[in-house]
Amino acid sequence: MPEPLFTDTLHFAGEQLRALIKRHPDFYPMYTAGGKWKHTGEAWTHWCDGFLPGMMWILAGRDRGWVEPAVRYSKPLEPRQHDRNVHDLGFIFMSTYRRWLELTGEPALNDVLIQAGRTMALRFREKGEYLRSFMAEDSLFIDIMMNAGIIFYAARETGDAALRDVALRHSLTTRRVLVRGDGSTSHEGIFDTATGEFLKQTTQQGYRGDSCWSRGLAWAIYGFGTCYEYTGDGRFLATAEACARYYIEHTGEGGVPPWDFDAPAESRKLLDTSAAAIAASGLLQLARLAQNPLYDTVARRTLSTLCQNHTAAGDAAWEGILKGGVYHLHKNLGVNESVMWGEYFFVEALDRALGK
């Protein structure tokens, strides 16, 4: 009976969040070090600030007591609607302002979402037809599929066909160059900026350019599903399902994937619970879009495993919700720790699985 387990875990998540905002008011953590949110480890890039208030908005859907802190933590993000330095405006604003808008219907919130979508679209490179990553002009990340959605959203809200075209062409390019025939994904693609020619698959956070970094695959399941939801284009549903098949076949009964499916055997013992949480939420979305109960079953099984074996319940010293996430192994950042996106997508998936 997973429902009480999910309800109890969502309750535990709320308790951990309350403790966090009491201990470190107005602090936006990214990953823990030894289970503690406050430390001096580097950020690498600033993409996570929406996840803490995003969880508050999810909880506010069940308990209006969360609205006040959710507003307090969301408002400081508003200037980032103009942030040209990251490719993560979907992560930052769809988790916060979109949820805020859905709960309150305040029209001014939509202006922020639309501007964030327009800013995100400025990353588009005609030569190569992709939204460039924060790394460099020639770089495309699989993660950006999670952020194309805010451009589709802004296009839909404004009727701006050029905006929609940017998101569509980016998604088609990503599908062509980063998703392989077996449904696995590469983390990063490199282009010739002069000609737009695609040069090679590579990686920042995965094991190798030709490997499948599990979180990148989870971003693809979720991101291409979202893309299908906005476009109704069956190519994106097929891509999301191919990625889901690869994920399900290679993750197996254990329910939590290794940090990279192609890392050497010893290294594969290091799991990434954040990939499992993202995949669970993306599979719940895909179950609805594809009308396929298999994805729902796998998502619920994954959530049960996370709830039973991977939360910090029972470890009073640990400040996070979900243990065992991996941020950047090569830089030794957030390895086997709680990570903010893992927390967010875990809470989102639990909320989705429980329904209203």
Residues numbered 129 to 168 that lie near ligand GLY (CB under 6 A) are 143
* Contact status, residue 56 vs residue 70, Cβ threshold 8 Å: yes
**Smallest distance, Å, CB 317 to ligand GLY?**
25
CB of 143 to ligand GLY, least distance (A): 5
Nearer to ligand GLY, 133 or 251 (CB): 133
State which residue has the least CB distance to ligand GLY: 143
Report the residue number, 9 or 147, with the smaller CB distance to ligand GLY: 147
Q: Is 191 helix (H, G, I), strand (E, B) or coil?
A: strand
* SS3 label, residue 50: coil
CA 263 from chain centre, in angstroms, equals 22
Cβ contacts of 71-76, under 8 Å, gap ≥ 24: 71/100, 72/26, 73/21, 73/26, 73/28, 74/50, 74/100, 76/26
E-only strand ranges, 47-171: 124-125, 130-131, 139-141
Q: Is 215 in the site for ligand GLY (CB under 6 A)?
A: yes
As measured in angstroms, the least distance from the Cβ of 206 to ligand GLY is: 10
Of the pair 143, 348, the CB lying nearest ligand GLY is at: 143
Count of residues engaged in binding ligand GLY, rule: CB under 6 A: 4
- Distance in angstroms (rounded) separating the CA atoms of residues 170 and 173: 5
Closer CB to ligand GLY, 220 or 248, in the complex: 220
Q: Rule CB under 6 A: is residue 205 a binding residue for ligand GLY?
A: yes
Separation between Cα atoms, residue 287 and residue 45, nearest integer Å: 32
Q: How far apart are the first and last CA of the chain?
A: 18
Q: Least separation, in Å, of the C-beta of 205 and ligand GLY?
A: 6
> Shortest approach of ligand GLY to residue 90 CB, angstroms?
12
Give yes or no for residue 343 binding ligand GLY (CB under 6 A): no
Residue 145, both tokens: 């599929």
**Within a 10 A sphere around the Cβ of 313, how many other Cβ atoms?**
18
Query: Least distance in Å: CB of 286 to ligand GLY?
Result: 19
Query: Which residues of the shown chain bind ligand GLY in the complex (CB under 6 A)?
Result: 143, 205, 215, 327
